[in-house]
Amino acid sequence: MKSKFMQMVMAACLCIFLTACQKDFKSTDSSQDLKMARNNELNGRLKQTKTFSAEVALRWMDMQVNQMRAYTGVGNVAYSRHYAYSGIALYEAVVPGMPAYQSIASQLNGLTGIPETKPGLGYHWAASANAALASINKNMFPNATSENKAAMDALEASLLDQYSNEADAAIIDRSVAFGKAVAEAVFAWAQTDGHQNLYNPYSPPADKVGGMYWTPPAILPVHSVPYMGDLRRMVATSGDGAGLAGP
């Protein structure tokens, strides 16, 4: 009888011990879950670029076209420069969120200093794109009218307000800072491509007349950026071997 009673006591103690262990395990699991949830909240769950809408790119491209229509002093051919640098800034501002792709900076002629994202932290790539496109467009159109400058400010603010409701402030601030830094690096590179000399005064060579050349005393027609060929190529070997034979 005594032996049986002792067995029952030991069994009861074992049940109590196991129950206590189970509670402890559950408590630990719950703590880990909360920690992981908090970490995900802070880091934005590392969303990829493809999870965001292309609206930001489309609206800024529309804005750029509108700016070009109203801007003075820049020929149509020269606007290819605006498209090119804006496209590069946009791509570099979102490519870290595209695992199957990589930066193209190393393939471009002289582009360095593109900032990097912080490992393990989440970004709102639409907010990054908005900041990059706003910055590069404002820099590309420094002499825009007050009305057009206000339009760019309004578009940037409108999109940012929308994105601020989709992620916490830390993620948005980090994304905006990254997008602006990318645009600043791309614009600094753009400023060294030789475009400042694109509209230098031009006079046709005195010994070149007839055929493909301006022939005095005819009035010199409006020439289309005669110094375009002096611009730095975006890709170092671009155009090699593409020259036409002389007439």
Is the pLDDT reported for residue 224 higher than 90? no
Is the pLDDT reported for residue 236 higher than 60? yes
Is the pLDDT reported for residue 14 higher than 50? no
In this prediction, residue 43 carries a pLDDT of 52
Nearest to 47 by CA among 114, 116, 117: 117
pLDDT tens figures, 108-165: 999 999 999 999 999 999 999 999 999 999 999 999 999 999 999 999 999 999 999 9
**What mean pLDDT is reported for the chain?**
82
Per DSSP, 109 falls in state: S
Burial letters for 100-127: b for 16+ Cβ neighbours within 10 Å, e otherwise? eeeeebeebeebeebbeeeeeebbbbbb
Confidence band (pLDDT; 50, 70, 90) for 219? low
pLDDT tens figures, 181-200: 999 999 999 999 998 888 78
Give yes or no for a contact between 156 and 182, defined as CB atoms under 8 angstroms apart: no
Interatomic CA distance for residues 227 and 217, integer angstroms: 23
**CB-CB neighbours of 69 under 10 Å:** 8
Is the pLDDT reported for residue 24 higher than 50? no
Nearest to 89 by CA among 134, 50, 122: 134
Give the number of residues written for the chain: 247
**CB-CB neighbours of 160 under 10 Å:** 17
| Triad 48, 98, 189: Cα angle to 5° | 120
Confidence band (pLDDT; 50, 70, 90) for 223? low
Helices 169-190 and 125-140 cross at an angle (nearest 10°) of 30
Confidence band (pLDDT; 50, 70, 90) for 28? very low
How large a percentage of the chain has pLDDT more than 90? 55
Give yes or no for a contact between 164 and 175, defined as CB atoms under 8 angstroms apart: no
Of the two residues 245 and 18, the one the predictor is more confident about is: 245
Tokens of 154: 């309004």
In this prediction, residue 168 carries a pLDDT of 94
In this prediction, residue 21 carries a pLDDT of 44
pLDDT tens figures, 67-87: 988 887 666 667 788 999 999
Look up the pTM and report it: 0.76
Tell me whether residue 64 is exposed, middle or buried, using C-beta atoms within 10 angstroms of its C-beta: 0 to 12, 13 to 18, 19 or more.
Answer: buried
Burial letters for 216-234: b for 16+ Cβ neighbours within 10 Å, e otherwise? eeeeeeeeebeeeeeeeeb
Helices 146-164 and 125-140 cross at an angle (nearest 10°) of 170
